[in-house]
Chain A
C-alpha cells in the first residue's frame, strides 16, 4: 500500500497518498475558504485532515466499527477524517456525496468548535451544513418513513457511543429544522 505524506496547507496539515496531494489540497483549500466566508472570520488553531483508503483504517481512528454509511467525521481534538472520493461514492448512500462536500461539512464543524467552543447543539451543528451551498442533501425514503413515526426531540448532544443510534434521526431532523 502506498505510503501517505504530510502536506502543510497553512490552515491544516493533510495526510494522504502522494499521488492525491495536489488534487485534495485544492479541494481542501476551497472548502476552507468557503467556511471562512460563511463565518466571516479566520480560525487560529491549525487542524489535521486524514484521508483514509480503507474502512479498517477509518474505524481504527474512530476507535470502533463504524456504520457503512459514515464517510467522514471531525473530532474534538481537531482532526478531520474522510475517505477518498471513490470510497465516498462506494459507501455513502447519498449519490450526491463528494469529497468536496464532505470537507466543506467537516471543516464547518472545526470552525464551529473553534469559534463557539462546542459541538452542540448537534442538530444545529449538522443542520447548518446540510443546506445548500454546503452539500446538497435530500431526504431518502428511509428518512421519510422514520419521520412519520414517533420522533425524539431535536438532538442536543451526541457522543461516540450513542451516535449511530441517534444518527438516523439527527440528520433528517437537523435538515428539516434548519431548512424551516
Chain B
C-alpha cells in the first residue's frame, strides 16, 4: 500500500464508501490499484 501513496489510498476509500460493503471494497481496490486485494495478501504473506 505504501507505494501507492496516501492520495490514492484515500481516493480508493472514497470509492469504497459509496457502498460500504466488502464486495464494494474489493471492487474499489481493484479499480484504483489495478489488481485484486487477494493479490496484495499473496505478495505480502507469500502464499501460493
Contact, CB under 8 Å: A116 / B13: yes
Known contacts A116-B17, A120-B25, A121-B25: A179-B41 contact under CB 8 Å = no
Which of A116, A131, A178 has a CB less than 8 Å from the CB of B14? A116
Which A52-99 residues sit within 8 Å CB-CB of chain B? none
Which residues of B come within 8 Å of A, CB atoms? 1-3, 6, 9-10, 13-14, 16-17, 20, 22, 25, 37, 40-41, 43-45, 47
- How big is the A interface, by class? 20 to 34
| A-B contact sample (5 more), CB < 8 A, given A120-B22, A120-B25, A178-B2 | A117-B17, A147-B45, A154-B40, A173-B44, A177-B41
User: Who on chain B is nearest to A116 by CB?
Assistant: B17
How many pairs, one residue from A and one from B, have CB atoms within 8 Å of each other in the complex?
54
Contact, CB under 8 Å: A176 / B44: yes
Which of B3, B10, B22, B47 has a CB less than 8 Å from the CB of A180? B3
Contact, CB under 8 Å: A179 / B17: no
Classify the interface of chain B: helix, strand, loop or mixed: helix
User: Which residues of B lie under 8 Å from residue A156 when comparing CB positions?
Assistant: 22, 25
A173 to B10, CA, bound (A): 20
Contact, CB under 8 Å: B25 / A115: no
Contact, CB under 8 Å: A179 / B1: yes
What is the distance, in angstroms, from B10's C-beta to the closest C-beta of chain A? Answer: 7
Q: Would you list 24 pairs from A and B whose C-beta atoms are within 8 A, ordered by A residue?
A: A38-B6, A39-B10, A112-B13, A115-B17, A116-B13, A116-B14, A117-B20, A118-B17, A121-B25, A124-B1, A128-B9, A147-B45, A151-B45, A153-B41, A154-B37, A176-B44, A176-B45, A177-B41, A177-B44, A178-B2, A180-B1, A180-B3, A180-B40, A180-B43
